[in-house]
Chain A
Amino acid sequence: MKMTTMKKNILIFSICACWCMLLVASCDSDLPRYANYSAYDYNKLDEDGGAWTPVLLTSPNQITITAPEDVGSQAYQAELASLKTTISNLNDGQKNAVSYWTNNPIIRWNEIALELAAKYNLIPGPNPDGTYTLPNPATPEGPSPFPFAHPAYTSRMLAYLSVAQFDGLISAWHYKYQFNRLAPYQNDDAIETAYAETMLPSYPSDGAVIAASSKAILSAMFPLEKTYLEERAAEHLGSLLWSGSNVESDIVAGEFLGAEIAKVALARASKDGMSKAQCPKPVSDSIKQSAIDRFGWYWQNLEIPPRPVGLAPLFCNVRMWSVPNVADVRPGPPPAIGSAEFVEAVNELQHLQDNMTEEKRKIANWWSDGLGSYTPPGHWNKFAKDFIIKYKENPLRSARTFAYMNMAVMDAGISCWDAKYFYHYPRPIQAIPGFKTILGTPNFPSYTSGHSTFSSAAAEILSYLYPNEASLCEAWAKEAAESRIYAGIHYRFDAEVGIQQGKDVAAYTLAKAMNDGAD
């Protein structure tokens, strides 16, 4: 009898435990690692894309490729036969690659770029003796791995990636319609594509241009990731065959074009001044002294141990994409410390600190894009990606969106950093005794706000390219700017002037975009 009761007890307990386990287990779900979209019908082909104005190339045929074999040729027929064999023997990994890469792989390479930005956006910590060792491209493995993909670095990385993709695709479009060799499935009824059929000529392969240019740019920007990028590119190139999009010779020509345009872009990058952006302490000190002489104030890092040099004091000297001279877009000075306008801004910050709400906290965090994240330029790339998918853009159009936006964002960064170190304005934690924040204060001066400048420049470009989204983009930029005030790391005037500065910078990019022949 006693034994029976015990068994019953165990049984009841077990049932209860199992039920509870199911309750929790059923809540588990797969969290998204990349954009959830499938290959789609392009909203248009942009047949005249080969006539658009490239950014770096002097003409779409600056890089020459040989004419393809005729569709009736033995060589091409052999390629079709080989493709059919390949397609009929796909394994699951290859099928997954086809559905992952889709017919707009610009999206995937942008995601890879953002992931690497987030992976490398780690600020070097102090050494035991209180010094800091900065990343060095000559010894990328460290002790502090290269790069530190901070917002300025990331804005530049994305600009070069997008510009190379864009110019490569303009060139590809030019040759596609010059040679007019259609996709394999248009030339052989026995071949089916995994994606939507299109009349876009397939020589050279636009996918291969994207794979080769992206691999080369990202390998230069993230030298420790060469092997990883090689693997991603190999899979992507494979998917072009497995999906029935291209024959081998389409891909070979596209790879060549992509690699060549990347060389052009990287040649510009190698002498754009970025290698000198992180200056030594004596230079940094002289910049600080200039501010003291001019304005009577200065910014200083309050970390323990203090960082001897702020982040990229000479990013202002990096070559801009569309603005002739960085001083042309430099805003006027911030309010003097102690002035009525300054006191008003400080009072607002103190009021916010004492009355933080969950809503404001969420806004501060939502836009924080701080260390370890893909940075504010990355955030705007995510928005651009979502619009590209929403409007079903072809790869050329997509590359154009990213290229103009990322050029404007990088220019905005350069201009913002110019203001930051020219005015060398103290952060709220430095200017207000006892002040605390809900986000970490970055290692550079306050005025103007990087988030505000990056965001409003990006919003200007996206508003032009997607007029239906203009009010949304503007609201986002405004909220991104506001978020820094809520976080306690910027004064209102940092944010408001930054918004205007971003617009001023973006105007130069917009002027180019409006006249590139695409609209």
Chain B
Amino acid sequence: MKNFTNLICLFAFLCMAGFVHAQTPFDAIMMKQKELCIAVIYDYGKFDEYWEGSYLRENQTIAEVSRHTIAPMVAVGLHDKLNFYFSVPYIKTESSEPNGGLLEGAEGFQDLGFALKYEIINKELGKGRLAALGAVGYATPLTNYLSDYRPYSIGNGTNELSIRGIIQYKLDIGLYARVASGYYFRGETRVERDYYYANGSYYTDWMDVPDAWEFNGVIGWWLLDSSLKLEGSYYAQNSTSGDDIRKYNAAQPTNEVDFGQIIFSTQYFIKPVKGLGVLAYYSQMVNGRNIGKSTNIGGGLTYQFGI
């Protein structure tokens, strides 16, 4: 009962502050009960080529499209084995000048994201520990942003439920390997036209946003007495349905979106200030379908403390 009251208070606080998660529902890190982590991440992504179906092309109508994201996040240890996450990204998109389309970019709060991560197994195995975790996430649009305005749309504009299984083996010397796989159930997004073409006619203002599988393979190392983490990973997402962007035409939420990206990241916990960490990452999309060949860099601050 006490935990439940705390949770309510926390929700109220989070909603007011507009925060989200920092330890993520993707990794194998668990926070102890009554620990809280707040973080702010800034991400800058850009692309000047995109895959139209499987064909990689450029398009001077949109020139180079950039995307700035500020994502406040909160993670909470509800229990030693159950963590809660919350995030509200603010996104701004635009084209570089000059461009042939002269279209406005877009900006605003994107989706309210919640997630729960549960540690199912954590046991010693050989010279390390084996952990298995499961996560469930839910995201829902926070504002009435237009999903049908690609490439400037700030999101899919649909409710999204994700489930994910994570297995990690970490050697006592700090080296670890992790694989995760998940599935995104995506609903429909309401667009601002009542007819559209997606391999045939649709007489509705709802578009079905395809579900997707994800896969993540990670190798990392905790160094300097577990204060520095270095990680390299491959992350892929593949839609289970959807149409291709048509020739020299705009993308739309019904598209099959597939991509694979290489990510390098590092996180450093600054010992003199207990609980404070900095993180930075770089990612490059290496393959894709109906998505920009994006290069991203990001960084942020995390602060973890007991409550």
Interface positions of A (Cβ within 8 A of B):
6, 9-10, 12-13, 16-17, 20-21, 23-25, 27-29, 31-35, 111, 114-115, 118-119, 122-126, 302-305, 353, 358, 361-362, 365-366, 368-369, 371-374, 378-379, 382, 429, 435-441
Contacts and interface: CB of A to CB of B under 8 A. Distances in A.
Q: Which 9 A-B pairs have the closest CB atoms?
A: A125-B248, A365-B192, A304-B100, A304-B60, A118-B197, A24-B185, A303-B100, A115-B201, A24-B161
Nearest to B191: A365
B59 interface: yes
Question: Which of B63, B159, B191, B197: most chain A CB closer than 10 A?
Answer: B197
A27 B192 contact: no
Contacts of A20: 136, 138, 161, 163, 185
21 contacts: A20-B161, A24-B185, A32-B204, A33-B200, A33-B202, A115-B197, A125-B248, A302-B100, A303-B60, A303-B61, A304-B60, A365-B148, A371-B249, A371-B250, A372-B249, A373-B195, A373-B196, A429-B102, A436-B103, A437-B103, A440-B101
Question: Which of B134, B144, B159: most chain A CB closer than 10 A?
Answer: B134
Contacts of B204: 31-32
Contact of B200 (A23, A115, A374): A115
A144 to B, nearest CB: 9
Contacts of B208: 28, 31
Interface string B31-48: 000000000000000000
Interface in B181-236: 185-188, 191-197, 200-204, 206-208
A34 B203 contact: yes
A32 B192 contact: no
Given A21-B185, A24-B161, 10 more contacts: A20-B161, A32-B203, A35-B203, A303-B101, A361-B146, A365-B146, A372-B246, A373-B197, A429-B102, A437-B102
A366 B193 contact: yes
B275 interface: no
A122 B246 contact: yes
Contact of A34 (B138, B196, B201, B207): B201
Q: Is the interface of B mostly helix, strand, loop or mixed?
A: loop
A118 B185 contact: no
Contacts of B246: 122, 372
A305 B60 contact: yes
Contacts of B188: 27-29, 31
Nearest to B99: A304
Given A9-B118, A33-B200, A438 B103 contact: yes
A33 B197 contact: no
A2 B243 CA distance: 48
A439 B98 CA distance: 17
A362 B190 CA distance: 11
A304 B249 CA distance: 15
Interface in B228-281: 246-250
Contacts of B101: 303, 440
B81 interface: yes
B190 to A, nearest CB: 10
B64 to A, nearest CB: 12
Given A27-B187, A436-B102, A440-B101, A368 B146 contact: no
B118 A33 contact: no
Nearest to B192: A365
A373 B103 contact: no
Nearest to A125: B248
B120 interface: yes
B113 to A, nearest CB: 14
Contact of B163 (A21, A32, A438): A21
Contacts of B116: 16
Interface in B31-78: 59-61, 63
A17 B250 CA distance: 35
Contacts of A33: 200-203
Nearest to A25: B185
Contacts of B250: 371-372
Question: Which of B61, B63, B81, B203: most chain A CB closer than 10 A?
Answer: B203
A198 B152 CA distance: 54
A501 to B, nearest CB: 25
B118 A437 contact: no
Nearest to B138: A20
Contacts of B173: none
Contacts of A25: 185
B286 interface: no
Given A304-B100, A435-B102, A368 B195 contact: no
B29 interface: no
A111 B248 contact: no
B134 A17 contact: yes
B195 A379 contact: yes
Nearest to A20: B161
B100 A21 contact: no
B116 to A, nearest CB: 8
Interface in B68-108: 81, 98-104
A33 B203 CA distance: 6
B121 interface: yes
